[in-house]
Amino acid sequence: MLNISNNQLNKSVLLSQTKSGKRVFHNRYYKYFNRFLFVFTIIGIIILFLPWTQNITSRGNVTTLTPDQRPQTIQSSIPGRIDQWYVREGDFVKKGDTIIQISEIKSEYFDPNLVERTAQQRDAKAQSVGSYEEKVKALNRQIAALSNERQLKLEQAKNKLLQSRYKAKSDSIDLAAAITNQKIAKLQYDRTITLQEEGFKALKDVEDKRLKLQETEAKLISQENKLLASKNEILNAQFEISRVNATYADKISKAQSDKFTAQSSQFDTEAQVSKLNNQYSNYQLRNDLKYIKAPFDGYINKAIRGGVGQTFKEGEAIVGIMPAQVELAVETFVEPIDLPLIKRGAKVRVQFDGWPAIVFSGWPDITYGTYSAEIVAIENFISDNGKFRVLLAPDESEHKWPKDIRAGSGAYTMALLEDVPIWFELWRQLNGFPPNYYQPESQSNAKKK
């Protein structure tokens, strides 16, 4: 009381005379209070023996089950400048729909007829390849003709060599006959001289024999000259064979060298044609890259590079897109101390932000507004927040998740462990002990088998 006034309320009003005062200040009011304490104690003891489901609670968010269904950005493979937008944020696009049209910013691609000019260069080089092919064929025919001509010349030279050998053989026989005739003429001359000295022959006979001997000697010398000439012709014929081989080998080698040069030029031109084909294909694909298209059916989230006329580099994010068809999942994070308690296939209850729910963490059966999920993946390395990431998928055997939830919204998860009495859970919490280990039914059944 502030005692601002001298009028005291407790002296002017008797509280014991009021209806509520009579009940409160009754002499037996403590009996009702004792009854209340007794009933409350009995109910509390009963509650202590009620079953309680141990759980691990954590915060998470909605994501997708596979990486290709998560929100992503669309990049351009080439640098460029934005010319025109064909969509707005929030629009639904199908796979292949044009989102943005861009233009080149590199000077080497400014030519609007770059693809056509490259095709013309490629066609010209391709014609050069055909010309070299014809040249190679002509040189092959020339080499074949030179080979045939060399074969004929060699046959001719070989025949001449054979003739020279036969002539030399004939001359050698004639030389042998001339030697024989010379010997006979010498014997006749000597015999005639002897007979002339004895008086049986006249001087005229001696002169005749001398003349005949000289004739035979002259024939012998002439025949020796003929034999030497025949041998010289053999050498000339052999030299002619060598000369024909060398001459035509040089001609054929030159033709083959021209052929290899033509083939080298042909291969070089073919390489240039292949390079031009590659450039032609690259330019065609580059023209297609001037239109940024949707990679799948989805919704345009945000224009990262807005406006018209803005330039960007290759690989730079331009617009964000969200796939239309997704398999939703929840990613949550658990403490390292609780990680051994989490197993693949374990059941988890999920409460989504924005969806009304009445949660009794220890009594999941009477919890309202939560949905069942199943652990499908556990990260093997700790995240940046000091916890381990766990991925949850919808439990097909329970109620389906709401269709209107979106990726990125928050979620509250409860991993269900073993059922224990409430007094045990209170005792565990007071002592800071971890929850009991939980094994999925499938694993426990496998161990029993």
**Minimal CA–CA distance to 394: which of 382, 381, 403, 385?**
403
For residue 234, tell me if it sits in a domain.
yes
Q: Do 3 and 60 belong to one domain?
A: no
Question: Does the pLDDT at position 204 exceed 70?
Answer: yes
Q: Which helix (H) or strand (E) holds 303?
A: strand 298-303
Q: Is the dihedral of CA 67, 69, 73, 74 positive or negative?
A: positive
Asked if residue 13 has pLDDT above 80, the reply is no
Q: CATH no. for residue 418?
A: 2.40.30.170
Q: Is residue 40 part of a domain?
A: yes
Token pair belonging to 253: 């080698």
Q: Which pLDDT value is given to residue 59? A: 86
| Greater pLDDT, 192 or 271 | 271
Three-class SS state of 56: strand
Tell me what percent of the residues of the chain surpass a pLDDT of 90. Answer: 4
C-alpha pair distances (Å), 178 with each of 18, 262, 394, 407: 187, 63, 127, 125
Q: Which residue's structure tokens are 């030159």?
A: 254
Give the closest residue to 300 by CA, choosing from 157, 87, 133, 154.
Answer: 87
pTM above 0.75, yes or no: no
Pair (77, 159) in one structural domain: no
Q: Is 433 exposed, middle or buried (0-12, 13-18, 19+ CB in 10 A)?
A: exposed
How many folded domains does the chain comprise? 4
Q: Which residue has the higher pLDDT, 354 or 309?
A: 309
Structural domain includes residue 333: yes
- 152 shares its domain with 269: yes
* Strand ranges across the sheet with 291-293: 291-293, 98-103, 80-85, 311-312
The angle that helices 29-48 and 422-431 make with each other, rounded to 10 degrees, is 80
CATH number at residue 211: 1.10.287.620
Query: Mean pLDDT, to the nearest integer, of 445-449?
Result: 46
pLDDT: which is higher, 97 or 439: 97
Phi then psi for residue 59, to 5 deg, are: -100, 150
Give, in degrees to the nearest 5, the angle at Cα 277 between 275 and 279.
Answer: 70
pLDDT in tens, 56-80: 778 888 888 888 888 888 888 888 8
Higher-confidence residue of 97 and 428: namely 97
Do 301 and 437 fall within a single domain? Answer: no
Higher per-residue confidence, 255 vs 52? 255
CA dihedral for 387, 388, 391, 392, sign (positive or negative):
negative
Give the end of a domain, one of 304, 323, 342: 323
The yes-or-no verdict on residue 444 having pLDDT over 80 is no
Least confident stretch, 45-54, 85-94, 242-251, 299-308: 45-54
- Residue 99 sits in the same domain as residue 119: no
The answer on 196 and 129 residing in a single domain is yes
Give the DSSP letter string of 141-164. Answer: HHHHHHHHHHHHHHHHHHHHHHHH
2 pLDDT higher than 70: no
Mean pLDDT on 70-99: 89
Report the 10 Å Cβ neighbour count for 223: 21
Which residue segment(s) compose the domain that 318 sits in?
72-104+290-323
Q: Which of 264, 288, 312 represents a domain boundary (last residue)? A: 288
Shared domain for 63 and 141, answered yes or no, is no
Do 361 and 428 lie in one domain? The reply is yes
- HEC string for 307-348: CCCCEECCCCEEEEEEECCCCEEEEEEECHHHHHHCCCCCEE
pLDDT reading at 230 higher than 50: yes
Q: Say what the pLDDT of residue 27 is.
A: 57
Mean pLDDT of 74-96: 89
Of 328, 290, 300, the residue nearest 60 (C-alpha): 328
**Per-residue model confidence (pLDDT) at position 363:** 53
Mean pLDDT across the stretch 92-105?
90
Same domain flag for 350 and 420? yes
Residue 133 is assigned to a structural domain of this protein:
yes
pLDDT at 446: 45
Q: Which amino acid is at 155?
A: E
109 domain-assigned: no
In a domain, 155, yes or no: yes
Residue 224 has pLDDT above 50, yes or no: yes
> Is the same domain home to 313 and 364?
no
Residue 195 in any domain: the answer is: yes
Mapping DSSP to helix (H, G, I), strand (E, B) and coil, where does residue 253 land?
helix
Does some domain include residue 423?
yes
Q: How confident is the model at residue 368 (pLDDT cuts 50, 70, 90)?
A: low
pLDDT of residue 438: 42
62 and 95, same structural domain? no
Tell me the two tokens of residue 23. Answer: 């009940």
CB-based contact 297:93 (threshold 8 Å): yes
CATH number at residue 315: 2.40.50.100
Choose the weakest-confidence range: 345-349, 385-389, 435-439. Answer: 435-439
Q: Are 164 and 146 within one domain?
A: yes
133-139, long-range: CB < 8 A, 24+ apart: 133/266, 135/262, 136/259, 136/262, 136/263, 136/266, 139/255, 139/256, 139/258, 139/259, 139/262
